[in-house]
Amino acid sequence: MTERRLARRYDLALPVVVHVAVNKEAPHSGQTRDISTRGVYFTLQKELIPGTELDFTLTLPAEVTQGKEVFVRAHGRVVRVDREKELESAANVGVAAVIERYDIIRGQ
């Protein structure tokens, strides 16, 4: 099978906080599996529907960002949802999302 991705993916397990853009429910915590400049795959204990708009924040740890936490705030859209046995927990759902825009915020 030919690789269709335009941006290189990096296997990174980072904490992610996800807000569903269309409602005011509490944020959901999860963890990334891989990320690129154009997309992200993460696991979450929340069922999402393809096409759902998301706002999410990734936290890059201080040990890899010269001593200060760095946050990546992004807006995107769900493109695929996986409920597979190979995920760490049966309660988790895998979510592939395209990143439409992002900002990098450096901690104090």
Residue whose pair of structure tokens reads 């979510």 in the numeric block: 95
pLDDT reported for residue 70: 87
Contact of 78 with 48, CB cutoff 8 Å? yes
Q: Report the predicted TM-score, pTM, of the whole model to 2 decimal places.
A: 0.83
Q: Is the pLDDT of residue 87 over 90?
A: no
Instruction: List all residues 6 or more positions away from 17 whose beta carbon is below 8 Å from its beta carbon.
Output: 27, 28, 29, 30, 56, 57
Instruction: Read off the pLDDT of residues 36-72 as tens digits, 9 standing for 90 and up.
Output: 989 999 999 888 999 999 999 998 877 666 778 889 9
Name the residue ranges covered by the structural domains of the chain: 10-106
Contact of 76 with 40, CB cutoff 8 Å? yes
Tell whether the torsion through CA atoms of 13, 16, 61 and 37 is positive or negative. positive
Question: Tell me, which fold does domain 10-106 have in CATH?
Answer: Thrombin, subunit H (2.40.10)
- Name the β-bridge partners of 70: 60, 106
pLDDT reported for residue 88: 56
For residue 22, which phi and psi values (nearest 5 degrees)? -90, -10
